[in-house]
Amino acid sequence: MNKRLALCLIFAAAAVGLLALRGRAEQELDPLKVCADTQKLIFENQFVRVVDDRIPAGGAEAQHRHRHGVVVYLTDYKVEQVAMPGHKVTRSERKFGAVTWSEAVVHEVKNIGDTPSHAIRIELKY
């Protein structure tokens, strides 16, 4: 076997391994598993996944990931998020009726206000 073919096989094997690890990491950070008490599946097909997200006042969600998509806020509440990597902390107020675009994210969330949070996430699968 020549060197070029051997290198190609090594790189192909490494790529397959990395894809397998990525898939496993995504499953381990699936919010429906990690945050099963606060996030519930409403609808899913090959294009979107719609998640109902409710965090009680003072409650928190462990590290999880979301695909990019739209978030609709159904209550007023205050939230603190810790985004990965880098552990960047942001605090913000969500307002009833607001709709925002959200890029894909891995984060931890804490409801730091006095009211329960309620949001609907429409995550795109492409």
Amino acid sitting at position 119: A
Class (C level, CATH) for 3-124: mainly beta
Domain ranges (residues) in the chain: 3-124
Radius of gyration of the chain (CA): 18
How many Å apart are CA 125 and CA 112, to the nearest integer? 30
Which of 2-6, 15-19, 36-40, 89-93 has the weakest average pLDDT? 15-19
Q: Would you state the pLDDT for residue 24? A: 43
Q: Would you state the pLDDT for residue 126? A: 86
Buried b (16+ CB within 10 A) or exposed e, 32-48: eebbeebbeeeeeeeeb
In this predicted model, what pLDDT tens digit does every residue of 60-98 receive, in sequence order? 999 999 999 999 999 999 999 999 999 999 999 999 999
